[in-house]
């Protein structure tokens, strides 16, 4: 029996948008029988009603709900990935603090650098996804472990999948990419692939991030954001999966999740020469230059075979998220034993469910959205109802009391940076 009472992930990512390592690991912990509280940070455009969702057994999704009443006397293991939350995680009265170092604090993530050393040095356990991250963190904290990324093997290894309508009639072969189209993606290389293989289709699945211009060619298909549940449908169309990343300081530390997902589907993989990818040189084709990348695409198609597909699938199976979760649980259990922390009273699922139902009954019926502003000069007055003064929107509302929006006492207003933030209408 595990000595872990609960694992809590503080509000960082939208659970349903761009499913990443934290969502996968929390799901896997829950499937191992551990109570997991995922404090959701929904996208501004996401119409999430305040409340608690029991998304799978043992995994509770908290939407704008304080977890403290549900923890009662339980001290959770706090698992977090944002270095800036090094102080915030202490508010949950943790039995252990785990910092998961998933990206190098450089280049696009240089803003994390001021928080990085504190997050690593103060954690009870530090997890790292690559050799480079392990080498960096282990200098600051001896309790540092290498736990690479993995894949949802069952999700990506299925063959009985329909072909999405928007790619049903494109030319074959298909060179495909799944993931965020960000500044670390070598878009010049993508354009060269399209020019080198005009008879092929280049399918790019994923939203733009920090990118405003992309190359357009008749054979490049920019599919945009697709729900995680639909990604295997697109990967099944690919003849080759590509990882066209620039070779930068930040990218040198990346252990690409898409590498494992491509292999789970059995397709050949061609990547730029990333250190973490080169570990699997017998299974993945790597290239240091654009010209070599084009050559590797030709080789990958010509040399593919059922035997190579089976090797890729076997490797992906050995590197599933469940395998990673079991490794982490073992590390946690050993650290708890070392600190002589015993399992506290187990969280009662029926108690959580009952309170969750009460929240849902009291929850607002909808969410109203307002445009983003550069600042918030408002004031809240707590009484039977809150009033709000807006001083930054003279063109939208007059100064003074705003009658349109009211808030229940329990609801906190989150002012966030982004395209929008939301208010919840009180029922009725």
* Each residue's pLDDT expressed in tens, for the chain with a length of 428 residues: 788 999 999 999 999 999 999 999 999 999 999 999 999 988 877 777 788 999 999 999 999 899 988 887 889 999 999 999 999 999 999 999 999 999 999 999 999 999 999 999 999 999 999 999 999 999 999 999 999 999 999 999 988 889 999 999 999 999 999 999 999 999 999 999 999 999 999 999 999 999 989 999 999 999 999 999 999 999 999 999 999 999 999 999 999 999 999 999 999 999 999 999 999 989 999 999 999 999 999 999 999 999 999 999 999 999 999 999 999 999 999 999 998 766 555 556 665 665 555 555 544 433 322 222 223 333 333 333 333 333 232 332 233 333 233 233 333 333 333 333 233 332 32
Numbers of helices and strands, H then E, in the chain: 13, 18
The answer to whether residues 285 and 269 touch, using CB atoms and an 8 Å cutoff, is yes
What is the pLDDT, as a whole number, of residue 349?
A: 62
- For residues 326 and 332, give the distance between their C-alpha atoms in angstroms, rounded to a whole number: 10
Give dist(CA 233, CA 198) in Å, integer.
24
Cα 138–144–150 angle (5° rounding)?
A: 120
**DSSP symbol at 370:** E
Distances, alpha carbon 107 to alpha carbons 112, 145, 176, 248, 250, in Å: 10, 24, 26, 8, 6
Q: 230-242 burial by CB neighbour count: b if 16+ within 10 A, else e?
A: ebbbbbbbbbbbb
Q: CA 121, 124, 129, 131: dihedral to nearest 10 degrees?
A: 60
Return all residues near 28 (Cβ < 8 A) that are at least 6 apart.
321, 322, 324, 325
Phi, psi of 178 (to 5 degrees): -125, 125
Cα–Cα dist 384/406, whole Å: 10
CB-based contacts of 225, cutoff 8 Å, min separation 6: 206, 207
Contact 332, 125 (CB under 8 A): yes
**What gap in Å lies between CA 235 and CA 233, rounded to an integer?**
6
pLDDT at 390: 31
Strand partners for 61? 38, 53
Contacts for 335 with CB less than 8 Å, ≥ 6 apart: 96, 124, 125, 143
- Residue 209 has a CB neighbour count (10 Å cut-off) of 14
Q: How far is CA 267 from CA 242, 259, 355, 407, in A?
A: 10, 10, 46, 52
Distance CA 19, CA 31 (A): 17
CB atoms within 10 A of CB 394: 9
Which residues on adjacent β-strands are paired with residue 9? 38
Cα–Cα distance for residue pair 106/253, rounded to 1 Å: 10
Same fold across 7-150+320-338 and 153-317: yes
Q: Are 52 and 62 in contact (CB under 8 A)?
A: yes
CA 334-337-341 angle, 5° bins: 130
What backbone phi and psi angles, to 5 degrees, belong to 177?
-135, 135
Q: How many CA atoms, within 13 angstroms, populate the side-chain half-sphere of residue 416? A: 18
At 146 the three-state DSSP class reads strand
CA–CA distance, 53 with 39 (Å, rounded to integer): 11
Q: Can you identify the CATH homologous superfamily of domain 7-150+320-338?
A: Glycogen Phosphorylase B; (3.40.50.2000)
Cα 284 from chain centroid (whole Å): 24
DSSP string of 194-241, one letter each residue: HHH-TTSEEEEEB-BSS-------TTEEEEE---GGGHHHHHTT-SEE
3-state DSSP call for residue 247? coil
Domain extent listing, the chain: 7-150+320-338, 153-317, 365-424
Overall fold of domain 153-317 = Rossmann fold (3.40.50)
Contact 21, 28 (CB under 8 A): no
């Amino acid at each position: 029996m595990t000595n872990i009472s609960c694992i809590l992930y503080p509000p960082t990512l939208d659970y349903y948008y761009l499913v990443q390592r934290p969502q996968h690991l929390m799901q896997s912990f829950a499937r191992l029988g551990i109570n997991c509280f995922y404090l959701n940070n929904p996208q501004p455009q996401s119409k999430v009603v305040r409340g608690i969702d029991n998304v799978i057994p043992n995994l509770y999704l908290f939407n704008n709900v304080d977890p403290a009443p549900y923890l009662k006397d339980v001290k959770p293991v706090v698992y977090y990935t944002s270095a800036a939350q090094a102080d915030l995680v202490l508010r949950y009265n943790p039995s252990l603090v785990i910092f998961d170092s998933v990206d190098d604090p450089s280049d696009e993530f240089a803003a994390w650098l001021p928080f990085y050393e504190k997050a690593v040095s103060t954690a009870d356990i530090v997890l790292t996804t690559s050799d480079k991250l392990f080498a960096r963190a282990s200098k600051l904290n001896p309790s540092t472990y290498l736990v690479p990324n993995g894949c949802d093997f069952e999700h990506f290894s299925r063959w009985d999948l329909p072909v999405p309508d928007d790619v049903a009639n494109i030319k074959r072969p298909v060179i495909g990419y799944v993931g965020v189209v960000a500044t670390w993606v070598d878009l010049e290389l993508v354009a060269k692939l399209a020019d080198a293989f005009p008879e092929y289709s280049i399918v790019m699945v994923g939203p733009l991030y920090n990118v405003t211009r992309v190359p357009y060619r008749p054979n490049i298909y920019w599919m945009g954001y697709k729900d995680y549940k639909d990604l295997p449908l697109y990967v099944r169309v690919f003849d080759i999966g590509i990882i066209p990343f620039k070779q930068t300081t930040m990218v040198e530390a990346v252990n690409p999740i898409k590498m494992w997902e491509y292999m789970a589907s059995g397709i050949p993989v061609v990547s730029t020469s990333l250190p973490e990818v080169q570990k699997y040189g017998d299974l993945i084709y790597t290239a240091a230059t654009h010209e070599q990348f084009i050559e590797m695409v030709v080789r990958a198609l010509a040399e593919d075979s059922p035997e190579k597909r089976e090797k890729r699938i076997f490797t992906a199976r050995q590197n599933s998220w469940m395998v990673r979760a079991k490794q982490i649980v073992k590390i946690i259990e050993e650290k708890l034993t070392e600190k002589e922390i015993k399992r506290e009273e187990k969280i009662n699922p029926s108690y959580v469910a009952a309170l969750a139902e009460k929240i849902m009954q009291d929850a607002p019926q909808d969410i109203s959205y307002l445009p983003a502003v550069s600042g918030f000069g408002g004031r809240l007055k707590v009484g039977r109802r809150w009033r709000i003064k807006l001083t930054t929107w003279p063109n939208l509302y007059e100064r003074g009391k705003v009658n349109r929006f009211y808030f229940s006492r329990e609801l906190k207003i989150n002012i966030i940076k982004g395209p929008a933030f939301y208010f919840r209408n009180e029922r009725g």
